Amino acid sequence: MECRFMQPRLALLLKHTAITAVSISLAIFAWALFARYFAFPDLVPSPWETFGTGAQLLSSGALLNHVGVSLERVLVGYAAGCAIGIFVGALMGRIRTVAQFVDPLLQFMRPISPVALVPLSIIWFGIGDMSRYFIIFYGVVIIVILNTAAGVVSTPNIRLNAAKCLGARRSQIFRRIIIPSAVPYILTGMRVALGFAFMGIVAAEMIAAQSGIGYLIMQSRMLLRTDIMFVGLVTLGLLGAAIDGCFKLAINRTMQRFMEHQINV
């Protein structure tokens, strides 16, 4: 019986892998074609030149060092943004006064790009990592707040009323009814915010940093090394895709538990 269910899953996985491989192959082919016939060689390196430069940077350890520094900065700013965002969003969803107070500030801050705050963050926090943490935090926290608040507000009233009728305390209702109902919204917000975290760190590292992927790209621009710039861009894409894939897998497993909880409630 189990094998019968495994076969469709395996077929679906193989199909998805094949489509992904074809998509990547076509993208590399288009890149090579553009570099060969439609661009100046010094401006757009071919995929093979880029991969060769990337291999050299990997063997020297320079690329791994920049990647490690950027990931550490992203992790700190992202974790802080998610923690504060979930806390504030939960308060907004449950307490109307808090929502009325915070929402106008969020609507004012939403259009302001984290990149626009890079110069100001350097003035406030200096050229150390704190300024980069702030940029990532800013790009993450607003998204997580709004998604968390939306999830808390969307909790079905029938469950809230049922819990009250059964004598559940407010803390129990919040912990066992509201938070589980908001989980899909929270995870979606965290996944979207992850992309903004990477965009923020690259912008911050380009302006004031001595290491990181953004710094590598900016230094390569000054040296007219477009091959290294492309290595930085490809590295960012691969990192983002890998982390998002892991995040998506975690979301799917969490959602399975969430659906089981919803059925049992």
Check residues 212 and 13 and name the one with the higher pLDDT.
Answer: 212
pLDDT at 164 > cutoff 90: no
Percent of the chain exceeding pLDDT 70 equals 90
**What is the DSSP secondary-structure string of the chain?**
-HHHHHHHHHHHHHHHHHHHHHHHHHHHHHHHHHHHHSS-TTTS--HHHHHHHHHHHHHHTHHHHHHHHHHHHHHHHHHHHHHHHHHHHHHHHH-HHHHHHHHHHHHHHTTS-GGGGHHHHHHHHTTSHHHHHHHHHHHHHHHHHHHHHHHHHTS-HHHHHHHHHTT--HHHHIIIIIHHHHHHHHHHHHHHHHHHHHHHHHHHHHHS-SSSHHHHHHHHHHTT-HHHHHHHHHHHHHHHHHHHHHHHHHHHHHHHHHHHHHHH-
pLDDT for 6 equals 53
pLDDT at 99 > cutoff 70: yes
Per-residue pLDDT tens digits for 179-205: 878 888 898 899 999 988 988 888 888
* Domain layout of the chain by residue ranges: 1-38, 43-264
Percent of the chain exceeding pLDDT 90 equals 28
pLDDT for 5 equals 47
pLDDT for 77 equals 93
Per-residue pLDDT tens digits for 54-67: 999 999 988 999 99
Spatial separation of the C-alpha atoms in residues 247 and 255, rounded to whole Å: 12
Highest mean pLDDT among 34-43, 128-137, 157-166: 128-137
Spatial separation of the C-alpha atoms in residues 21 and 15, rounded to whole Å: 10
- Cα 95–96–101 angle (5° rounding)? 105
| Mean pLDDT for the chain overall | 84
User: What band does 7 get if pLDDT is binned at 50, 70 and 90?
Assistant: low
pLDDT at 152 > cutoff 80: yes
Check residues 9 and 147 and name the one with the higher pLDDT.
Answer: 147
pLDDT for 1 equals 46
pLDDT for 2 equals 46
Hey, what CATH class is 43-264 in? Answer: mainly alpha
Spatial separation of the C-alpha atoms in residues 132 and 106, rounded to whole Å: 21
Ramachandran sector of residue 61 (left: φ over 0; alpha: ψ -120 to 50; beta: rest): left
Task: Give the pLDDT mean for 145-163.
Answer: 82
Does pTM surpass 0.75? Answer: yes
